[in-house]
Amino acid sequence: MQKLSTETGVKNIPSVFSFFIGMLIIANLWGCGDFMHPVESTPAPTEYTYNYWLLERTYLFEEELEKLEPEGDSVQTLYEVLDDPFTRYVAPSKSEQTSISINTSIVPGSLGMEYVLYANQPYPLRIKRVYPNGPAGRAGIRRWGYIMEVNGKSLLQTETFSYSAAYNTYDSVLNYNKSIELKVAYEDDTLSYKMEKEDVYAPTVFVDTTIDGTIVVTITEFKQTTADKEKGSYGELKAYLDSTRNYSKPRILDLRNNPGGHVTQCVNMADLFIKSGPISTRSWRTFNGDGTPVKKSNTSNAISGDAGEEGKFLALVNGGSASCAEIFTAAIAEGAGIPVAGDTTYGKGIGQTTWNTMAGGLAIITNLEFLTPKGNSYHRIGIIPDYPCQSVDLNCGMKALEKYYGKKFSDSEDDKVSKKAISPSKPSIGGAFIESEEPFLIF
């Protein structure tokens, strides 16, 4: 089925670049002494003037534009005078890595595992998830084993060697060695594994089952390129829903601490649950092909026929659920009637466009606003849950399922033990972006 496109509003970008490049060519030719003997040369735009030009035409909060100086030397200073914390300039030396972080779920130099740190276990580091296509997955490592040793170094907790020291030791070995050997204790056996680290495309959709049989679908981010390199997060979620089309029991959609991602992804993923009607509305500042500023708006509408439309679901969110996670949550709540449990979300209803600059930098400029399917703004407000919880754990979701779907649940074993989750990579870049040359949205 043809899915939604969120490219509206950036289709004019190639012509705009042609317009600006044309300006550069004319300026350079006119500045040449052999070209019609001009009276005086016209200087080509600098990195500063190019970014000034972009901000003048796209920055959402127009009342702040008077702060900008039309001429200067520091591009960073140009951006720093603006109040919006999401509008920023990335220097050429860091732009490629920033783009990779925005666009993909890649984890550089990884074994392809996630961990949980237990303060009250002899071996405090436990394997929570294993990515099937990563080194750990190929080596046959299973979930829920305790890591006893890494490259011969013991992780046994003692009076002088705390659980945090165990993690720091493990992290240090992984940071400074490509070849890794782990000794892992399971209930039935103790096994050793040898692996080589590599760059791993992490999954962004995980499916777990609680001790009483409830399925929890965790969406960590909304990315264009993930373990599903063709369809990204959307492809991961769609594949799961298609494989469980006839499943009739209620499930939890866990969006806690999801920082956001591509709007194309979260809109299409929300459509998997919505039969018809609006999914999200956005408006933005941009410019026409001749460079004149213009304001545009667009509403994405659902297409029926997807596997999630007949299922029973509940969304679990917290204050770390932001941006695209809020687009998704608001869409399935207002468009599909899916109840929301947890705590009020972050409240980021604005988005950014990313531009590759003349010097190879990255201009990230807030120029979008988003509304829910019913036309409500949640910026600086957040999505308020139907079932609020002071402690937003899985038990909150279980109790909400009991209220809305009538099933009695026992406490989740996963939440009985005091623990601290550990991310296998650096924090992802949240926000809402449109990439200037290849039109897609990130939020």
CATH number for the domain harbouring residue 112? 2.30.42.10
* Separation of alpha carbons 82 and 78, rounded Å: 8
**CA-wise closest residue to 54 among 285, 299, 347:** 285
Q: Is residue 421 part of a domain?
A: no
Tell me, yes or no, whether 69 and 145 share the same domain: no
410: confidence class by pLDDT, cuts 50, 70, 90: low
Tell me, yes or no, whether 374 and 436 share the same domain: yes
Q: Is residue 420 part of a domain?
A: no
Tell me, yes or no, whether 81 and 159 share the same domain: no
Q: Is residue 23 part of a domain?
A: yes
| Averaged pLDDT score across all residues of the chain | 87
φ, ψ of residue 222 to 5 degrees: the values are -120, 100
- The reported pLDDT for the residue numbered 7 is 35
Tell me, yes or no, whether 95 and 114 share the same domain: no
Q: Is the pLDDT of residue 44 over 70?
A: yes
Residue 271: which CATH number? Answer: 3.90.226.10
Q: CA-based angle 212:239:249, to the nearest 5?
A: 30
Percent of the chain at pLDDT exceeding 90: 80
pLDDT in tens, 140-182: 999 999 999 999 999 999 999 999 999 999 999 999 999 999 9
* Separation of alpha carbons 77 and 56, rounded Å: 15
**DSSP characters over 352-367:** EEEEE-TTS-EEEEEE
DSSP code at position 132: T
Structure token pair of residue 357? 């600059």
DSSP code at position 200: E
- The reported pLDDT for the residue numbered 353 is 86
Residues spanned by the domain of 193 = 108-199
Q: Is residue 224 part of a domain?
A: yes
CB 19 within 8 A of CB 294: no
For 399-412, letters b (16+ CB in 10 Å) and e give bbbeebeeeebeeb
Q: Is residue 392 part of a domain?
A: yes
Give the pLDDT mean for 93-110. Answer: 95
Tell me, yes or no, whether 139 and 227 share the same domain: no
pLDDT in tens, 361-401: 999 999 999 999 999 999 999 999 999 999 999 999 999 99
Residue after which a domain boundary falls, among 199, 214, 230: 199
Tell me, yes or no, whether 226 and 138 share the same domain: no
Tell me, yes or no, whether 297 and 441 share the same domain: yes
DSSP code at position 213: S
pTM of the prediction?
Answer: 0.84
Tell me, yes or no, whether 90 and 114 share the same domain: no
Tell me, yes or no, whether 193 and 238 share the same domain: no
Q: Is residue 89 part of a domain?
A: yes
* Separation of alpha carbons 431 and 443, rounded Å: 5
Tell me, yes or no, whether 270 and 334 share the same domain: yes
Tell me, yes or no, whether 161 and 224 share the same domain: no
Q: Is residue 306 part of a domain?
A: yes
* Separation of alpha carbons 143 and 116, rounded Å: 11
Calculate Rg over the CA atoms of the chain.
25
Q: Is residue 245 part of a domain?
A: yes
Domain total of the chain: 2
Residue after which a domain boundary falls, among 165, 199, 233: 199
Q: Is the pLDDT of residue 99 over 90?
A: yes
CB 273 within 8 A of CB 338: yes
Percent of the chain at pLDDT exceeding 70: 82
Residue after which a domain boundary falls, among 168, 199, 230: 199
Tell me, yes or no, whether 369 and 276 share the same domain: yes
pLDDT in tens, 303-337: 999 999 999 999 999 999 999 999 999 999 999 99
